[in-house]
Amino acid sequence: MTYKQIHFHKMRMYKAVIQKEAMATDSVRKEYKSEKELDDKIKHVLDSHAINNCIRLGGEETSDVFELINKDDKYIFAKLGRSRDYFSVQLRDRKTMEGFPIEKKDGQDLELFTYVLIDRENYVLSYLRDKSAPFIQQLSKLIDVYCKAQNLCAEISSVIIDDAIPLLSKKKIIGSMYYTVSVPQWQLIDIDNLGLTEDDFELLDDKNTVQLEVKLLAQRNKDSIKDKSKLGNFIENVLSRGARKLKIKAKDEGEYMQTYPIEDSPFTRRERFDFNRNADDVEKEIQEKLICIYEGDKDDILRYVRKGGNGE
């Protein structure tokens, strides 16, 4: 059983227009293009520069790789790969515990990769994030590098939840809550509840504040808020009393618990991926899983994309 974090991003394309200034340094104005124009450029770049459905994102031999797996009228499904030093990687037999070096021929690279799903209508990206794989921003090089002569550039930004209260209010179950509270050094607090004796507390030098982390733990699969119509008032009251970094867990029926920071946080999903790695078409299963997750949250994702504007 493997849990993966899916991050949602918005890709935009613009033309960099140089504006001449008589008495000042020249400036650059971003002339944003439509998603249809972006899709046409991506298709042209792949048709013109890909080898075996793969293209070097930086245009050099050591650059990260974009590998097209599947494309239809709605989606592009691909890998993003990055070469790694194979000297620090080996195989190990699970039963005998014997280690084996990875055999690599001349001209081959050991590559670590992850997956991205692109909605061709709006260029929202569903990125199966992995620490060893390239950052999703590398995908902008399909435009930056291969459309440079046309002064075209791309930018990729996270889908940001500016206010999670409307989203949480629709959830079936509101779970545990977490936040921090800073107490000034001069304000009296019950140090016994901190696990400190008075002598221990006095040993701590130059205390500016004491920061407490509060966890309001809900029972498993039970609602922590009886009346969801009052969730907004509850959150506002907690924040008005100095709480910071407020995060709330919530889910709908059949979902896994997701953690939602209340203000200005990336829209993400934590999902379980259970696949037979020896199956003939595991990549098809991954694509279908990503489509299912994206379609389930599409309305909320697009609402936050529209709030974010066109990047200007």
Show me where the domains of the chain are located: 2-158, 165-263
Which pLDDT value is given to residue 223?
A: 81
Q: Which residues contact 27 (CB under 8 A, 6 or more apart)?
A: 18, 19, 21
- With beta carbons less than 8 A apart as the criterion, state whether 243 and 181 touch: yes
Q: Give percent helix, percent strand, percent coil of the chain, each to the nearest 5.
A: 25, 35, 35
Q: Which residues contact 269 (CB under 8 A, 6 or more apart)?
A: 5, 6, 8, 258, 293, 297
Which pLDDT value is given to residue 22?
A: 65
Instruction: Say how far apart CA 255 and CA 88 lie, in whole Å.
Output: 38
Select from 161, 157, 115, 167 the least CA-distant residue to 267: 161
- With beta carbons less than 8 A apart as the criterion, state whether 123 and 117 touch: no
Sole residue written with tokens 């075996």: 52
Instruction: Say how far apart CA 63 and CA 144 lie, in whole Å.
Output: 14
Q: Which residues contact 48 (CB under 8 A, 6 or more apart)?
A: 146
- With beta carbons less than 8 A apart as the criterion, state whether 154 and 6 touch: no
Alpha-carbon torsion, ordered 271, 272, 276, 281, to 10 deg = -10
CA 232 and chain centroid, separation: 26
Q: Residue 22 gets which letter from DSSP?
A: S
Q: How many CA atoms lie within 13 A of 76 on its CB side?
A: 21
Which pLDDT value is given to residue 84?
A: 82
Which pLDDT value is given to residue 301?
A: 92
Which pLDDT value is given to residue 312?
A: 42
Which pLDDT value is given to residue 69?
A: 97
Output the CA–CA distances (angstroms, integers) from residue 265 to 16, 65, 70, 72, 160, in the order listed: 29, 29, 31, 31, 5
Which pLDDT value is given to residue 106?
A: 84
Per-residue tens of pLDDT for the chain, all 312 residues:
578 889 999 999 999 988 777 666 777 789 999 999 999 999 999 999 999 999 999 867 767 999 999 999 999 999 999 988 777 788 899 999 999 988 888 888 888 899 999 999 999 999 998 878 889 999 999 999 999 999 999 999 999 887 777 788 888 888 888 888 766 555 555 555 556 566 665 665 555 566 677 777 888 877 888 777 778 888 877 777 777 788 888 888 777 888 888 777 788 888 888 776 666 788 999 999 999 999 999 998 998 888 666 544
- With beta carbons less than 8 A apart as the criterion, state whether 101 and 113 touch: no
Map residue 282 onto helix, strand or coil.
Answer: helix
Output the CA–CA distances (angstroms, integers) from residue 126 to 5, 36, 143, 278, 301, in the order listed: 10, 19, 19, 24, 10
- With beta carbons less than 8 A apart as the criterion, state whether 64 and 57 touch: yes
Select from 10, 9, 27 the least CA-distant residue to 18: 27
Select from 270, 312, 306, 281 the least CA-distant residue to 124: 306
Q: Which residues contact 171 (CB under 8 A, 6 or more apart)?
A: 228, 250, 251, 252
CA 6 and chain centroid, separation: 6
Which pLDDT value is given to residue 240?
A: 72
Instruction: Say how far apart CA 4 and CA 175 lie, in whole Å.
Output: 20
Q: Residue 281 gets which letter from DSSP?
A: T
